[in-house]
Structure 1
Amino acid sequence: MLDTSARLLRLLSLLHTARSWPGSELAERLGVSGRTVRNDIERLRELGYPVDAARGATGGYRLGAGAVMPPLLLDDEEAVAVTIALHTAAQGTVPGTEETSLQALAKLEQVLPARLRRRVRTLRAYTVAVPADRPAPAVSAEVLTVLVSACRDRERLRFDYLDHAGSSTRRIVEPHRAVNWGRRWYLVAWDVEREDWRTFRADRIRPRTPAGPRFTPREPPGDDMAAYVSGRVSSAAWRYRARVTVHAPAAVVIERINPAVGTVEAVDAGSCVLVTGADTVQTLAVHLGMLDCDFDVTEPEELVAHLRLLADRYARSTPSSR
């Protein structure tokens, strides 16, 4: 049988999992009586761990949220994952969290067992992050917290929103989800005044206080918020748009493009239409070339002209054999 200290740590480890534990199951796991389990639960509460208890067939013990942050118990894989995540956050993925991420990272690494510390240091030493080709728009941790809290609490948000030109409009929305796509954060919300779903760049949001009132959630605009945002954001940013007839089954084309590149509409068993776009015709031509399929393009004129230029260039690069 485990001694009291070891048993309390084992009990705490079980309670850290996201489920309720019947007292009888805890007693069996720990090899003690139900009375000992109840006494151990009281000891944990005295140490500051908020252990909730519920009666009934589906009841049991589970770790709740308290007024202060109690120590956490992590297994090996969890400890390594959290350490790597903190290291990434300390590099500025969300501005404003660098210092606190470093502080948390120092505390965690101090108590890591030697075997795990070696794993973490190896991951750091032999992995390299390639810098972005251009700096990502900064969204403060404070703003991001306001957005996700309003989504969680189902409270209306009031904020000033800056458009591409820097002009400000005031919005009242019912927030649904904050979505990270590419190097940016977006808020998907129901615009109360425009009576439609809208996608807002988080770095252009200036929240107003107070928030509220609460609202009843609406049916979301899609099951996959990431796909919804990628479709809305990419198409809104396109300078050049094209409808391209591709001589290949829709399923084949779908497998070869990123959802941010465009959408595919089946025509028949052997062809489909790709609705796509980009900031430049050069980028559009790259997307089409990577399909590795025959296709027909009639517009925009700039894309047609660029494809003809590429065709001539490629023809000159591969002179016929004599």
Structure 2
Amino acid sequence: MTDTPARLLNLLSLLQTPREWPGSELADRLGVSARTIRRDIDRLRDLGYPVEATRGTVGGYRLVAGSAMPPLLLDDEEAVAIAVGLRAGAGHAIEGVEEASVRALAKLEQVLPSRLRHRVSTLQNATIPLTRGDGATVAPSTLTALAGAVTGRERLRFAYRAGDGAESRRQVEPYRLVSTGWRWYLVAYDLGREDWRTFRVDRVSEPFPTGSRFTPRELPADDAAQMLSHSGARSQAEHEVDVSFAAPAVFVSARLPGHLSLTETGPDTCRLRARSTDSVEWLAVRLALIDCEFTVHGPQALASYVAGLSARLARSVGAAPGAEAPAHGH
């Protein structure tokens, strides 16, 4: 093999297999001399790939962890597997999946050949992931379009549906994507409103990068996450939620969104104490779906709504007077 760049890529592909390669075996695989292999190993080291050499009859070369992440070579199956995993995580805003995963997905999908991009879409469309919580799903293509515009500092147009159902067209300077663990938001400067806005990404459609670059404005907060918190506090009342459950914490936590954390109070009991801007209606329904006895200690609005919901559920199945109604809380 006389093409040096192609030979280096093939050598790197072999070294990424987690094993030690004798120099003679690498030379045979690539059809070159052992001296050429040693020279190519030095080239890879110069490029930042930490190749370690061991001496002796069982010695050889292997790729080890270094201080920086050099480029990786992926075969078709590996690229598809990574893209599907990133799409699933990003599209459902699973707890712990941050903006970095969306940037990685945007980079990967940009260079995927069309045949692999089709395989990724086919696999995802044929599967239904079981996710924790009930955060609204987001099209991965929307996330990658927004991430690309953020990274490239490119103005963006999109259609937006507000909470009350009103439709509008927006042109913005996208600043940052923020994940709350169960929902994605875009922090951007709205050119039409001449002010900063936060947009729920699951309500964004038809994102279109305009190609027009912009210089980022000064954000009116320490960072995008703080701005999102302030925006949420202004738009929604915050509740001090306090609920105790007659079930183990591991059982209850598996049935609650990840942003609501529990404290174990006994082997078969736990308690939720948290600040939340979720509506009392949403909280009540989530509690009713847990399938265990619970008691609402606060806020009073939540306790009242749960009591009303319990009564309506009992009436819906025609509970006879004196019959025991389902006990979902009080």
- Report the TM-score, using the length of structure 1 for normalisation: 0.48
Higher relative contact order (CA 8 A, sep 6+): 2
TM-score under structure 2 length normalisation? 0.47
